[in-house]
Structure 1
């Protein structure tokens, strides 16, 4: 336990020092974000200290995860967040293969109208634009219209 805490403390100091120093080194495309890495090591350091304090207070020689209610709750919350992220990622990938993702620039008037419609319907502007596109109809003459619909 002491080794893990010591290593986390060293890594926390190193990542914070790297974050503060103007290294001039260009970050590789797949490098860790230095701020995120520093935050992760700070969190690990804090968690190892929490576990050590729990073990000392409980008189444990070894860590017993099943008896660590706080750690178990955090692990469950982490797993729920992870599962949610994976579900959103899968949905996004599915949409990307079937749908179209576009960045559009609207005029100020059109942007205000879309934001007002979205606020009124309790949706995001992206959702309103997507629903308008889903309901659009192309006539034989080539005109585009959107029949009345209730945003969902």
Structure 2
């Protein structure tokens, strides 16, 4: 699924393709888009079984029809722009509305990228910060408490330092080399 609508895709595509074209070339593109709009709309109406796509079609015909409809609208808009402004060729940087839409799309893209990066960072932090429950026998608990009392650390701090030193052997066994808990 794309984050861009058919209109977004069409605006971007038409704007790039129209650069440097004169009004006659833009009119040809608008006519072609009108033809493709009709064809793809017909194809979308005749899709087998309520939206099921045949094995030969890799593109959703409804989305393709919406894209061509939006492209047709885009080409018509550019043709009207050239007619009303008297420009001889289309220059994207002189297209105020197109430039604004492109800026909005880029801003949205940057926001999505930043949000995705923030999500990845949160997931990474959550993976690092593991919270566990540990059930100890009374003897184990007493030994841990004595070690904590001797070092001035909490039992949780001792266990965290113990976990930080766990080594995995080639056969998967876990071991902790001797260490002094109050020396980080």
TM-score by length of 2: 0.47
Within 5 Å, give how 1:54-93 maps onto structure 2. Answer: 54-88=81-115
Residue of structure 2 in register with 1:119 after alignment = none
Aligned equivalent of 1:6: 31
Change (3 A) 1:58 1:85: same
Larger Rg: 2
For residues 28 and 80 of structure 1, what CA distance do their matches in structure 2 show?
A: 37
CA RMSD of aligned residues (A): 3.4
Higher relative contact order (CA 8 A, sep 6+): 2
Q: Secondary structure at the match of 1:137?
A: coil
Measure how far apart 1:28 and its partner are. 4.2
Matched pairs, number: 109
In structure 2, how many angstroms separate the alpha carbons of the residues matched to 1:68 and 1:85? 26
Q: 1:137 aligns with which of 106, 123, 132?
A: 132
Structure 1 residues 73 and 91: CA distance shift in structure 2, 3 A: same
Deviation at 1:39, TM superposition (A): 1.4
Secondary structure class of the residue paired with 2:89: coil
The aligned runs of 1:116-135 (5 Å cut-off) are none
TM-score, normalised by the number of residues in structure 1: 0.56
Structure 2 gap segments, 5+ residues each: 1-25, 137-184
In 2, Cα distance between equivalents of 1:8 and 1:64: 20
Q: 1:10 to 1:97 in 2, by over 3 A?
A: farther
**Counterpart of 2:143?**
none
In structure 2, the partner of 1:44 is 71
